[in-house]
Amino acid sequence: MSMTLAASALFAQTALMPGKSSPQDIVAARKFAMRSFNADLRDIRLKIESGDVIGVVSPALSVSAKAQLIPLVFVDRHESAYPFEGSNKYFKGADTQSFQAAAEYLNAQAQKLLRIASDKDAKKADQHLNRVKRACVDCHTKYRGES
């Protein structure tokens, strides 16, 4: 686990500054956010499997927060930053409204998972985790290309 965290941290070397960040920095931050989403989803799954449903709150909050912010870094394709070292995936581009709708849907699903977790209902939480994952997959299907 610590190796994964250390390796993931290499992709987030700088804070993004509006209007001043390079395409490479923006793409690196996007890739880092996607790795963080994956870590959150894994953490949620493992907590549900172990019966720690209330432990789902923190990673679900993380998913919700990132879902609210990701439209800000997916405004442009930043073709010049690809291929990105260590990844054969790239952002195909999207119109702002459809991308925002996808992010809002992911946020809504994360928020619902938070409510379910607070009720400590492991079965419902497990079922709803699939809706959160489906929101991720749908967005990737529409907007992510593979080299």
* Whether 38 contacts 69, CB under 8 Å: no
> Is residue 37 in some structural domain?
yes
> Is residue 57 in some structural domain?
yes
> Is residue 8 in some structural domain?
no
> Is residue 9 in some structural domain?
no
Closest CA to 27 of 89, 69, 96: 89
Closest CA to 73 of 97, 98, 91: 91
> Is residue 12 in some structural domain?
no
Q: What is the pLDDT of residue 4?
A: 45
Q: What is the pLDDT of residues 56-95, one digit of tens each?
A: 999 999 999 999 999 999 999 999 999 999 899 999 999 9
Counting residues of the chain whose pLDDT is more than 70, the rounded percentage is: 91
Count structural domains, the chain: 1
Q: What is the pLDDT of residue 147?
A: 87
Identity of the residue numbered 14: T
Q: Which helix (H) or strand (E) covers residue 1, if one does?
A: none
- The CATH number given to whatever domain includes residue 130 is 1.20.120.10
Q: How many CA atoms lie within 13 A of 134 on its CB side?
A: 9
The residue segments making up the domain with residue 100 are: 22-74+81-146
> Is residue 121 in some structural domain?
yes
> Is residue 17 in some structural domain?
no
> Is residue 123 in some structural domain?
yes
Q: What is the pLDDT of residues 29-54, one digit of tens each?
A: 999 999 999 999 999 999 999 999 99
Q: What is the pLDDT of residue 109?
A: 98
For residue 3, pLDDT over 60 is answered with: no
CA dist 141 and 147 (Å) reads 14
